[in-house]
Amino acid sequence: MSRQTGSVAVITGAASGIGRGLAEEAARRGMRLVLADRDASALAQVCAALQAGGSEVVSRVTDVGQLAQVEALRDCAVERFGGVDLVFNNAGVMQTGYSWEISQAQWQRLLDVNLGGVIHGIRCFVPLLLRQGRGGHVINTASLAGLLSSPLLAPYNVTKQAVVALSETLHYELALLDAPIAVSVICPGAVASSIMASNQHSDTAGDGLSQLLGERIREGMNPAELAALVFEAIDAKRFWVLPHKEFKVALQRRVRSILDETNPQFQLSASEGEAHAS
Ligand SMILES: NC(=O)c1ccc[n+]([C@@H]2O[C@H](COP(=O)([O-])OP(=O)(O)OC[C@H]3O[C@@H](n4cnc5c(N)ncnc54)[C@H](O)[C@@H]3O)[C@@H](O)[C@H]2O)c1
């Protein structure tokens, strides 16, 4: 299957940041797009801009935390384009704060969107890809937080690590079936986006994390650059997508600490690759 011109890409969280960058790169490659986001007006703007550039785009306002809405998104893709080739489970939100102070509702929001959204995407689209029998690719946006835990990001770390586990499991399962469906998981550090607008926490005295994260994200990788790296990985059917290579040192240190059974130590130093809170 050529995953270029004419392929159908479904992208959630497509109205902003990383999702928008992925949509623009997919459009540049001549793909047909099914764009989803909870923010109706931003979604309409992205859709209109891509259509003005000549792309075939359908958009659907979707809350990925609601199974019925993801089912409706799949049905919309099939109705409009007859099938799907690439599924980007990308929508996500931020929550900072001490783990014991984060409210039940805030924990639930992260579980519903960051993890539930990917579970729903897999349950709705993988059976379709299998039925179609023409191959496909599932790309889940986790985070560096899917591999390395930072303090004050408990629900974000928990949901992103679950997305990595789910992606790896899916990869093994599809290989067991010898299914021609690839899986990739994206684990970026800071990328310039609006994600901090979704944070329901203001800094308290001992905690300047939202401010620090906000700065890192404002200065983060350009979504267009990230999207180009993601599509390179898709072309190569590569599972791991780690766009910020500098964090590999911290990852090695973590594995070393597990193998050596030494206590984990957090170091907030970008040069050492442990300021990985996004
Ligand atoms: N920006 C970063 O530094 C960074 C780093 C690593 C991973 N990520 C991940 O990248 C993904 C995209 O985030 P972003 O940084 O582009 O942020 P963003 O806020 O710019 O974009 C996220 C989009 O998802 C949408 N969205 C939020 N909740 C939704 C829901 N329930 N249903 C449908 N759409 C929803 C928002 O409306 C928004 O348009 C997220 O999963 C995020 O966790 C971001």
Q: Whose CA is nearest to atom 36 of ligand 1?
A: 13
Per-residue pLDDT at 2 = 43
d(CA 121, CA 148): 24
Cβ(227)–Cβ(21) below 8 Å: yes
Cβ(190)–Cβ(214) below 8 Å: no
Per-residue pLDDT at 209 = 77
- pLDDT tens digits for range 172-201: 999 999 999 999 999 999 999 999 999 998
Per-residue pLDDT in tens (0 to 9) along the chain, 278 residues = 445 789 999 999 999 999 999 999 999 999 999 999 999 999 999 999 999 999 999 999 999 999 999 999 999 999 999 999 999 999 999 999 999 999 999 999 999 999 999 999 999 999 999 999 999 999 999 999 999 999 999 999 999 999 999 999 999 999 999 999 999 999 999 999 999 999 998 767 566 777 889 999 999 999 999 999 999 999 999 999 999 999 999 999 999 999 999 999 987 654 333 344 44
Catalytic residue set: 156
Per-residue pLDDT at 206 = 63
Q: Which amino acid is at 261?
A: E
The CA 13 to ligand 1 mean position distance, Å, reads 6
The H or E element spanning position 58 is strand 57-61
Per-residue pLDDT at 201 = 81
Atom of ligand 1 nearest to the CA of 193: 20
The CA 103 to ligand 1 mean position distance, Å, reads 21
Any atom of ligand 1 within 6 Å of the Cβ of 12: yes
d(CA 219, CA 224): 14
Q: Whose CA is nearest to atom 32 of ligand 1?
A: 63
Domain 8-272 has CATH 3.40.50.720: yes
Per-residue pLDDT at 275 = 47
Q: DSSP for 199-246?
A: ------TT--HHHHHHHHHHTSB-HHHHHHHHHHHHHTT-SEE---GG
